[in-house]
């Protein structure tokens, strides 16, 4: 099968490209390399790299030609950036998504898998977060991701392609750049813990998140690209992608310190971030039904694997 991965030189994308290539798929990557730092990994995997912008119809048309499936990961994945520069992030996150979906439909692509976000739920009061809850996006980024779901749903209902949207919870793992403005809390914590610096918690540390290891995420994306999801129907499936576990940021800081050095870390507290939700945990019932299980890698094992991948001396 020939697969296009947009954003394939980025954190999640590079892991997906490697997995698909190992499985024998022919892989093409579309990435503007503005934040992706894994172009060498893409080339080493044997994938074709097309440097271009997902909001450029000409570049997308070239990239999607001849493909059987598309995984659309390219995005400005930052709440803060979307608040500061909403028009700029909308161009990539919404215009770019519609450009990719329309080009895929015109090229006869059979299946499109889209990376949405748990941010679409906003400050929902009911936990765990079920896919049937009314979305309440609190930031332009969350609104962008929800819009992408609706646009892909349009193409799915039209019968021109089969769509599947995954609402990513907090994905972490090797290659997540702690110096990037789009990095996750785990990569930042690990970077500081390895350097012996205090971990800075935004807010009181009692906010909770559902952390899911990148290796598990790309396994599920690959299965969806190959049409392995059960129960797909006329309405486009939207599936939470998390572990269904709540971890407070305070607990996370302790776990990161132990994984990085075997000791409890020093923790400092700063102001809460604008646009952040207080609590988040996935309902993984549909994920289990559609894929026959939930992501198996627990936080402790995932942190160990992430630390080991950095080559840090003394990693456990």
CB 64 within 8 A of CB 104: yes
Residues 6+ apart with CB under 8 A from 224: 111, 113, 164, 166
User: Which of 114, 141, 172, 213 is an active site residue?
Assistant: 141
Q: 172 an active-site residue?
A: no
CB 41 within 8 A of CB 20: no
Sign for the pseudo-dihedral over CA of 300, 305, 306, 311: positive
Q: What are the C-alpha distances in Å from 22 to residues 129, 233, 275?
A: 34, 30, 39
How far apart CA 248 and CA 164 sit, in angstroms, is: 30
The residue among 209, 211, 208, 207 whose CA lies nearest residue 270 is 207
As annotated, the active-site residues are: 141
């Amino acid at each position: 099968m020939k697969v296009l991965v947009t954003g394939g030189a980025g954190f999640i994308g590079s892991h997906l490209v490697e997995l698909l290539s190992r499985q024998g798929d022919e892989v093409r990557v579309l990435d503007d390399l503005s934040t992706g730092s894994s172009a060498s990994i893409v080339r080493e995997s044997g994938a074709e790299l097309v440097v271009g912008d997902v909001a450029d119809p000409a570049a997308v048309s070239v990239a999607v030609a001849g493909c059987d499936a598309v995984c659309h990961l390219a995005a400005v994945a930052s709440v803060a950036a979307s608040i500061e520069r909403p028009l700029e992030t909308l161009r990539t996150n919404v215009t770019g998504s519609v450009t990719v979906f329309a080009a895929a439909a015109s090229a006869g692509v059979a299946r499109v898998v889209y990376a949405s976000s748990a941010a679409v739920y906003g400050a929902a009061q009911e936990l765990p977060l079920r896919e049937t809850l009314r979305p309440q996006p609190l930031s332009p980024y969350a609104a962008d991701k929800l819009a992408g779901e609706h646009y892909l749903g349009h193409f799915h209902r039209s019968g021109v392609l089969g769509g599947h949207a995954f609402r990513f919870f907090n994905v972490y793992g090797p290659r997540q750049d702690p110096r990037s403005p789009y990095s996750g809390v785990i990569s930042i914590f690990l970077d500081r813990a390895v350097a012996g610096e205090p971990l800075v918690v935004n807010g009181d540390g009692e906010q909770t998140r559902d952390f899911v290891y990148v290796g598990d995420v790309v396994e599920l994306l690959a299965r969806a690209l190959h049409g392995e999801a059960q129960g797909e129907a006329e309405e486009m499936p939207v599936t939470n992608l998390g572990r269904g576990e709540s971890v407070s940021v305070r607990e996370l800081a302790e776990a990161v310190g132990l994984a990085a050095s075997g000791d409890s870390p020093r923790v400092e507290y700063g102001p809460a971030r604008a646009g952040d939700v207080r609590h988040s945990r996935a309902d993984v019932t549909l994920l289990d039904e559609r894929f026959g299980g939930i992501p198996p890698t627990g936080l402790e094992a995932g942190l160990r694997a992430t630390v080991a991948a950095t080559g840090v001396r003394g990693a456990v």
